[in-house]
Structure 1
Amino acid sequence: MTETALFSLLALQSVEGVGDILAKKLIHHFGDAESVLQAKSHQLAAIDGIGAILLKNIKDSSIYQKAESEMNFIQNNGISVAYFQDEIYPERLKHCFDSPLLLFSAGNINLSQQKIISIVGTRQITSNGTEFCKKFIEELVPLNPVIVSGFAYGVDIVAHQLAMEFGLQTIGVLAHGLNQIYPKTHKKYMAKMEQNGGFLTEFWSSSNPDKENFVRRNRIVAGMSEATIVIESAEKGGSLITANMANDYNRDVFAVPGRVTDKYSQGCNTLIKTQKAQLLTSAADLVYHLNWDLKTETKSVQKQLFVSLDPEEQKIYDYLLQSGKEMLDSIAIDCQLPTFKLSSLLLNMELKGVIRPLPGKLFEAI
């Protein structure tokens, strides 16, 4: 994108009353942002949605001063900008009707990897929620997904930290401009995140973390991801808004179930009960429902050193070591495990790199 094109897009964005949807409509009609701004008043007035007030705002010269100020910030701080028609713009987000016209980013973000998932939840994460999140992300490591969240307290920052711990790219979507960070206590994580991932926002440097911005932020989290995972949530909360947005965008949503008496499981249980989310008990559930192909994504599945197997997984592994290639039904009978449970265990073991599937529902130990 040229400097002239970016300047025109910023000027169009700064027009009071012109949001992402109308801006795209105008660009589609006139060809580009510069042509929109140069269009005659009668040409603009012919567009549905452009009244006298909006027409006056588009012709207000102050929009160019605002654009110049933001342009200087972008250039002086090494900010990357993605236009909604650019290749570097998140592919899934392009298909959301209300996606941002522009996305600003800092760090080392690479979205060529299409396995992008968002992890959200309460700001009051429990020890159980932290433990599940750690096990879940660790099991996904062989698939190298990108972990997206909102960089907030609780589930968000735990997901970011664990992604970094396990060497996965992680992206924090912010509800304010890139000239600041919220919450301030999370500033200590910024440098490490920017090494392998970073931050995205639609907001200018003049934007503060106002309440309404967090809802707008949530649509980016939901829209750019293949699936949204809710770890823990009370009956009401921002993560449920994100889950509903993901449903509206026809994305997969997963929720971790909990006891009916647990405050921070009520939201997840409701999502599952109302069929707005799939029940999630392990990474294997996600892999199964999204139909992720382990064979093509993990070069050649190799057994991890000192891999940890639970007793049932160890039983299966020992059986396959002794028996060689075996069919699913035979493993279920000989290991005395129901087929539905065995399927989940085998997926977990495949993620850990200790077994591999073969044609004909056969499995063998590595």
Structure 2
Amino acid sequence: MNSTEASIALNMVPGVGPVRLRRLLEVFETPEQVLLAREGQLRAVDGIGAEVAAGIAHWEEKVDLTAELARIQEFGARVITQQSPEYPRMLQEISNPPIVLYIWGELTERDQQAIGVVGSRKTSHYGLECAKKLSYQLAYAGLTVVSGLARGIDTAAHQGALAAQGRTVAVIGSGLMDLYPPENQALAEKITSSGAVVSEFPMTFPPSTQTFPYRNRIVAGWGSGTLVVEAGLKSGALITATQALEHGRSVYAVPGQIDRPTSAGSNRLIQQGAKLVTGAADILDDLRILAPEPRKMSTPVSAIPLSTEEQSILASVDNAETPIDLIVTKSGLPMPKVASTLLALEMKRLVKQLPGQQFVKL
């Protein structure tokens, strides 16, 4: 048994969390030695009670490590520990970093420069558009967008990063083989081609109300800061923002309408000192990251490289206000493709979105 396999086994023992494992490693030095320790030796470690000590000493009675390793291999995932070079360096700095991370996809050195983007599951059109645009801009600037694959803002954040052909990481509150929400399975598969879906839970571990706060601390601790796009007063996104502050990270928030319950939490964060964000430049400036040079107004449209879909959709936008439904009809492309491509064209400053999902050519 190697160190990674021992870490996987310990991660599956009930009651053994990151804090207890750190205390055990201070005494036994390696995960393998922890599993080999006698029950009395384990009980002698500060903070390790009789129940946890018994669970570790007799771990093979409850943990089927062979089956778990087989599931990991068959699924096409892999597991990293804090000793792995890919393990997010900033995540190692929090008080309770995950014992292991199950990775579906690939992590790169670029993913060390990241920003969390979170918000409510129940959101407005305004919130979704802000999440997509800001995530597009942040990913285009080179930051990896880390979010939770949940409905609403999280989904929009991943979509925006993908539309920019940037990097995004989805941290889920369940095992990789029990992905939640199930309707985001296709999005998760797409993320693995430009990032990774990540979990600290065993492969078949089910989602629950207890697992999502664990997921949130990873989102909050992975990068340099957390952006709250839209959140009610009781939103889990506020818990993530609080965790980010506890980790010593910056917190950013998008202002919303004062009469919308979905904006009450994010507006409250701004009152409490979160940096107000109206564009990605506010975050990039704060983190001292240079944004890519915007296209100069004198650059002719013909000199900007466009995909076939971008050319078709740009041709479908008039110089006057053009509804998105009309753009769909003219281009003959499905609504999701039109929406993501319009976002790309807007970032290239070729079209502008107006209220009511109207677009105009610049």
Q: Is the 8 A contact 2:138 2:144 kept in 1?
A: no
In structure 1, how many angstroms separate the alpha carbons of the residues matched to 2:59 and 2:192?
37
TM-fit CA distance, 1:98: 0.7
Structure 1 residues 263, 29: CA separation in 2 closer, same or farther (over 3 Å shift)?
same
TM-score normalised according to structure 2 size = 0.78
Structure-2 residue corresponding to 1:326: none
Q: Is the 8 A contact 2:4 2:80 kept in 1?
A: no
In structure 1, how many angstroms separate the alpha carbons of the residues matched to 2:42 and 2:83?
22
In structure 1, how many angstroms separate the alpha carbons of the residues matched to 2:136 and 2:113?
15
Structure 1 residues 288, 54: CA separation in 2 closer, same or farther (over 3 Å shift)?
same
1:284 corresponds to 2:281: yes
In structure 2, how many angstroms separate the alpha carbons of the residues matched to 1:116 and 1:109?
12
In structure 1, how many angstroms separate the alpha carbons of the residues matched to 2:167 and 2:136?
13
Q: How does 1:190-339 map to 2 (within 5 A)?
A: 190-275=188-273, 277-294=274-291, 303=296, 306=301
1:162 corresponds to 2:172: no
Task: Give the counterpart letter for 2:282 in structure 1.
Answer: D
Q: CA RMSD in A?
A: 2.4
Larger radius of gyration: 1
Structure-2 residue corresponding to 1:187: 185
Q: How does 1:33-182 map to 2 (within 5 A)?
A: 33-63=31-61, 65-182=63-180
TM-fit CA distance, 1:137: 3.1
Structure 1 residues 134, 59: CA separation in 2 closer, same or farther (over 3 Å shift)?
closer
Q: Is the 8 A contact 1:11 1:64 kept in 2?
A: no
Structure 1 residues 35, 243: CA separation in 2 closer, same or farther (over 3 Å shift)?
same
Q: Deviations over 1:220-251 (max 9, x none)?
A: 00010211111111111110110000010010
SS in 2 for 1:112: helix
- Unaligned ranges ≥5, structure 2: 305-346, 350-362
Task: Give the counterpart letter for 1:117 in structure 2.
Answer: I
Counting matched residue pairs gives: 304
SS in 2 for 1:179: helix
SS in 1 for 2:278: coil
SS in 2 for 1:91: coil
Structure 1 residues 46, 167: CA separation in 2 closer, same or farther (over 3 Å shift)?
same
- Unaligned ranges ≥5, structure 1: 309-350, 354-366
TM-fit CA distance, 1:157: 0.5
Q: Is the 8 A contact 1:14 1:66 kept in 2?
A: no
SS in 1 for 2:79: strand
SS in 2 for 1:47: coil
Q: Deviations over 1:287-345 (max 9, x none)?
A: 12111134xxx5x876576499xxxxxxxxxxxxxxxxxxxxxxxxxxxxxxxxxxxxx
Task: Give the counterpart letter for 2:5 in structure 1.
Answer: F
Task: Give the counterpart letter for 1:122 in structure 2.
Answer: S
In structure 2, how many angstroms separate the alpha carbons of the residues matched to 1:180 and 1:251?
30
Q: Is the 8 A contact 2:147 2:157 kept in 1?
A: yes
Q: Is the 8 A contact 2:90 2:112 kept in 1?
A: no
Q: Is the 8 A contact 1:223 1:249 kept in 2?
A: yes
